[in-house]
Structure 1
């Protein structure tokens, strides 16, 4: 491969596959090139390469604070693009979020001179289409997804042949309360449902609680170890999906070596672009489409913060909103927001959010904590307050009950409307 620095220009924005799809040979070369090419900027997703994001001379922006991006935020080096995940391909295509160089991990295609994206398609394919330079790492040890988007050789400016196990990113440890949360979710999800599952320990716990279900389907942004276990066990069959019947669809594989083995040359697992995985028309058409996503905190009206905790940017606007509305439009479907009742001794059910609203209260359906599940759709603000306080940790309920009601909220459940002073 040519020296990467020869392909770069000062001021270029570079994007690469996130998580397990990170082309480590190329990101290492980028770190070395940063000393020779000034003012390089990087758009990173969930990153595991601490050495790359710590490199001097590189600027960073991202849609979220996952992985080692939190270290960048702590150092004041991360600039967040507060965008819904589904908007990223269009932002790239329109030049609102320009990409000059795309670094991709690929596997050889069935036809000579063709390559398939490995482990991630999502917004990465939009970057491939619009970048001035595409550099490919052909990883012969990466899982080959025959249905992943294909890149012709003529689109690739340079490539390097390698063979190493992609970076595994197994799910977080199971912690106190996750089993109870999973049990409540299991009571909501029906047999035959098609699942979208967010990233993190709580969504993993919710998925692991579904081992007794039947004929589940998968249509999700990221497919991790918990879903892979259900696929391997035959719990996921995708038999009831009206699109991609018999196939689990994901934009990104994010897990361990066991996931890689399951996905390798498996026609029942397909990697698709964000335009398909997050398409509201596709999602709403799937019977019993059920979205399961975690929150950092929820206020007493149902507003959801998925971005900021304790003044740190740790999450993302992400895809929670992308999936919520289609899930509620799907026949028999629904959106489940899960949150641990306390974090660091503080209540996650709060009178007012400490971060931005990622999911407005009008788009919130089910809320689940260790203490139960409540469906908020159709409830008044006063009724929501009552239900959400019941989901809070008992130690925090009195303080929540003492919080002042907001505009539009009846002061008592049985109150009668009174005219404003001076009203006719």
Structure 2
């Protein structure tokens, strides 16, 4: 009689399964380790561990001054609602619409900084608990952080306690996105669908802006797209291009469109050839499924993807970002307009500086000329407005009325170029203001 003898892989799988079972707890049991005054770090966007956040909110009567650090929340969790601020304080590392009200009302705070610095900020912080959503464990005992690497590796490595929510809807992504079961203190299972954001609709104005952007993007360029709907909608016009590569922070459905139509191949990249380099994904279920086990994508922390020196190594790098407002000097505001602080800079400074230092690189700022009849090209930014992109960090500006090249131009030339791409109804007023401020004659 021949008896079956367990090999090393079988023995390892049994050991891993046993370790998994020992660490498996309920959501309520997992958050019981959280105490008042703790610093909690959770991933951004669709990787937020919803089941843990709600279980934590249920403990509000037991807790005070718990600080929850997160970038870009996509839903208004219970702990974010008015009346919860004595128990929980949200610290926004990149604000979304769901927390702007809380920031304005003083119930939440904002962490300023360049995005590529965030992992270092995390490592320097006293992190009590990291909680994040991951893909199911593989045969080697690894989970993937899926759609959000960002600062998660740094947070998980620094935290005193690590709680992972295993969700079969989380894609297993490639690159530097893995954590081993031995690094987790507790595991919770959940099958809630990942949060999604709708794909931006392409309007006539988007198409006009996109056509101008297309003129600036050469075949074979490596592109970055900001998270704004305007940047993503206009980038759909790049479908006519050939041999594009991608090095970006956020991956959106627009990137999938450009891959499927053949515009993005990554074969002409001089570094990471054949790979899309990214750190986070925000979009639809289609996007998340497209990324699952797809070797096209290589995930990195923002300390790599957003490092201007790394970005600058890409030849023909083109950064495409939207801003809310620009003045005649070229200063851009992408956060608050006026003195009410509610947002952070995001990735646009990292990529603007990186792209402009790349060989044949370009940085493109896009904006509609008006919003609700109000000009978005203004004589000067409103008093108290935060300058997201300084006048020295702006290269090309595109509206539906054309392209303004600002880099290497005098103040007078900048003002004249921006007035030329403003809405016709506002050009005379801008010209008068430029004369009044001594920018033109």
TM-score by shorter chain over 0.5: yes
1:38: Cα distance to partner? 1.9
User: Equivalent residue for 2:409?
Assistant: 379
Is the 1:170–1:224 contact (alpha carbons within 8 Å) kept by the matching residues of 2?
Answer: no
For residues 214-363 of structure 1, the aligned pairs below 5 Å read: 214-309=242-337, 313=341, 315-354=343-382, 355-363=385-393
User: Equivalent residue for 1:394?
Assistant: 424
Count of residues in correspondence between the two structures: 409
Is the 2:247–2:276 contact (alpha carbons within 8 Å) kept by the matching residues of 1?
Answer: yes
- Which of the numbers 40, 45, 49 marks the counterpart of 1:23? 49
1:317: Cα distance to partner? 0.9
For residues 137-216 of structure 1, the aligned pairs below 5 Å read: 137-175=165-203, 177-216=205-244
Does 2:63 match 1:11? no
The separation in 2 between residues aligned to 1:312 and 1:177, in whole angstroms, is: 29
Does 2:97 match 1:67? yes
The separation in 2 between residues aligned to 1:101 and 1:282, in whole angstroms, is: 30
1:132: Cα distance to partner? 1.4
Is the 1:63–1:80 contact (alpha carbons within 8 Å) kept by the matching residues of 2?
Answer: yes
The separation in 1 between residues aligned to 2:205 and 2:178, in whole angstroms, is: 43
TM-score between the two structures when normalised by the length of structure 1 = 0.91
1:311: Cα distance to partner? 5.9
The separation in 1 between residues aligned to 2:221 and 2:149, in whole angstroms, is: 24
Is the 2:30–2:188 contact (alpha carbons within 8 Å) kept by the matching residues of 1?
Answer: no
**CA offset digits 1:73-109 (Å, max 9, x no partner):** 34431211121211111111122xx432211111134
Q: Secondary structure at the match of 1:220?
A: coil
Is the 2:206–2:233 contact (alpha carbons within 8 Å) kept by the matching residues of 1?
Answer: yes
1:42: Cα distance to partner? 1.1
1:390: Cα distance to partner? 0.9
User: Equivalent residue for 1:54?
Assistant: 81
The separation in 2 between residues aligned to 1:176 and 1:54, in whole angstroms, is: 37
- Which of the numbers 108, 111, 116 marks the counterpart of 1:86? 116
**Aligned-residue CA RMSD in angstroms?**
1.9
The separation in 2 between residues aligned to 1:75 and 1:231, in whole angstroms, is: 42
The separation in 2 between residues aligned to 1:192 and 1:303, in whole angstroms, is: 30
1:324: Cα distance to partner? 1.0
1:196: Cα distance to partner? 0.8
1:199: Cα distance to partner? 0.8
The separation in 2 between residues aligned to 1:282 and 1:62, in whole angstroms, is: 26
Name the one with the larger helix percent. Answer: 2
Q: Using the TM superposition, name which of 11-20 and 48-57 deviates more.
A: 48-57
1:225: Cα distance to partner? 0.7
1:404: Cα distance to partner? 4.8
Is the 1:107–1:117 contact (alpha carbons within 8 Å) kept by the matching residues of 2?
Answer: yes
1:219: Cα distance to partner? 0.7
Is the 2:171–2:292 contact (alpha carbons within 8 Å) kept by the matching residues of 1?
Answer: yes
User: Equivalent residue for 1:415?
Assistant: none
- Point out where structure 1 has 5 or more consecutive residues left out of the alignment: 413-424
The separation in 1 between residues aligned to 2:163 and 2:31, in whole angstroms, is: 12
- Off by >4 Å, runs of 4+ in structure 1: 310-315, 404-407
Change (3 A) 1:71 1:410: closer
- Which of the numbers 140, 150, 173 marks the counterpart of 1:112? 140
- Point out where structure 2 has 5 or more consecutive residues left out of the alignment: 1-24
Does 2:167 match 1:135? no
User: Equivalent residue for 1:38?
Assistant: 64
